[in-house]
Copies of this chain bind each other. A is one copy, B any other.
Amino acid sequence: MTRVGIVGIGHGVFGRRSDATVQELAFEAFKTAMDDAGIERDALDASVIGSVPEYHKQRSLPGVVQEYLGLNPKPTWLTEVACASGSAALRTAWMSIKAGVHEVVAVIGCQKMTELSTPEILALMGRVGEVQWESGFGTTFPAYYALFAQRHMHEYGTTREQLFEVAIKNHYYGARNPNALFQKEITLEKAAASEEVAAPLQVYDCCANADGAACVIVASEERAKEISDNIVWLDGMACATASMSVLRRPHLTGLPSAEKAGADAYAMAGVGPDDIKVADVHDCFTIAEIMAYEDLGFCGKGEGGRFVADHQTYIEGKVAVNVDGGLKAKGHPIGATGISMTYEIARQLRGEAGERQVPDADVGLTHNVGGIGQYCFVQVMKRD
């Protein structure tokens, strides 16, 4: 089977993008990625859209995006697995190339989160939990992650301050990312003074909704080598699931889907956690990043809080994590997030991350969670 390589990357500014429709956001990222690849539309065989449809007034997004991008009559499809929709889109594109069905595919993660009113958005988000037995009783996203945090603190002595260390790091790097929603540093004092959302989580433990889009162009080994001399390879592409009901999970201190997807992606790429120099992980809440360290084997079980407090996930540490600001500072346009992660790790492996560049970054990883971990997609990426 052919390897699949990334030959073009594009990323728009995340934020309240009242200046653009969702198809315009898609175009912004697509155009940048196509220019980066140095190819024209006729070189593409298909497009795949990662997005969660119900946040847009326009139904069935791929049709309107495909038309706006000038890609008719090429095939298109949309994938949805909540906040991991972008990674699912990329995985189906990767499969289409490995299958020999397509050779060059544009994968676009795009999302507007600000078309609907806040109550409408909250209602939609609440319903990503299991509606029959759980979310009806108040388990919104912050509440679910608050359960994880409480249990992690109880079992491993993780502290309130260690959670904020994730936010402080991610804002530090977000301040250096011109595409980020929040481009300013925060202090422990400021975080600690923020309002409580669901104990122990406070405002500065939570990522923010945003509008945004990102795009990567992927190609078969043969076509990739024709198009680019700075290819990033998608060598480990795994997806795993866990029960939607947290009631049925074996524990609440990590995500079983992330443990499984991580192990599968490492095996597929022939690497281990110690090989990863840079990673983008799904820090929808600060506790989620701490659990990700552990689920992916960056540190031992229960050690995640100390790991970040010791600055082991800064650029100078053992493994650089979310040095683009993460969901916390970049913002979280849910369908775009997975492709935004892929964009960042590709930039790092290409050595183009500027002041945020991780030295000697040759192997990287993305970890994109859907919902409360009912899905997790892990990608291991390598440079030539």
Say yes or no: B100 contacts A66, CB within 8 Å: no
A75 to B374, CA, bound (A): 10
Residues of B within 8 A of A71 (CB): 241
Give the residue of B88, B130, B256 whose beta carbon is less than 8 angstroms from that of A73.
Answer: B256
Q: Does A59 contact B (CB under 8 A)?
A: yes
A241/B75 contact (C-beta < 8 A), A99-B98, A370-B60 known: yes
Say yes or no: A240 contacts B98, CB within 8 Å: no
Residues of B within 8 A of A97 (CB): 99
Say yes or no: B54 contacts A244, CB within 8 Å: no
Q: Does A81 contact B (CB under 8 A)?
A: yes
A248 to B77, CA, bound (A): 21
Closest partner residue, chain B, to A374 (CB atom): B63
Say yes or no: A244 contacts B59, CB within 8 Å: no
A15 to B361, CA, bound (A): 56
Say yes or no: A375 contacts B62, CB within 8 Å: yes
Residues of B within 8 A of A114 (CB): none
Q: Does A131 contact B (CB under 8 A)?
A: yes
Q: Does A245 contact B (CB under 8 A)?
A: yes
Q: Does A243 contact B (CB under 8 A)?
A: yes
Say yes or no: B53 contacts A244, CB within 8 Å: no
A66 to B370, CA, bound (A): 13
Residues of B within 8 A of A73 (CB): 240-242, 256-257, 260
Q: Does A76 contact B (CB under 8 A)?
A: yes
Q: Which 4 A-B pairs have the closest CB atoms?
A: A63-B374, A98-B99, A75-B239, A99-B99
Interface contacts beyond A59-B128, A76-B375: sample of 18 additional A-B pairs, CB < 8 Å, sorted by A = A53-B80, A58-B131, A62-B81, A63-B375, A66-B241, A66-B374, A67-B241, A67-B245, A67-B374, A72-B243, A73-B260, A79-B80, A79-B92, A92-B92, A95-B96, A95-B101, A97-B99, A98-B98
| 5 CB-based A-B contacts, threshold 8 Å | A58-B130, A62-B81, A64-B130, A67-B374, A73-B256
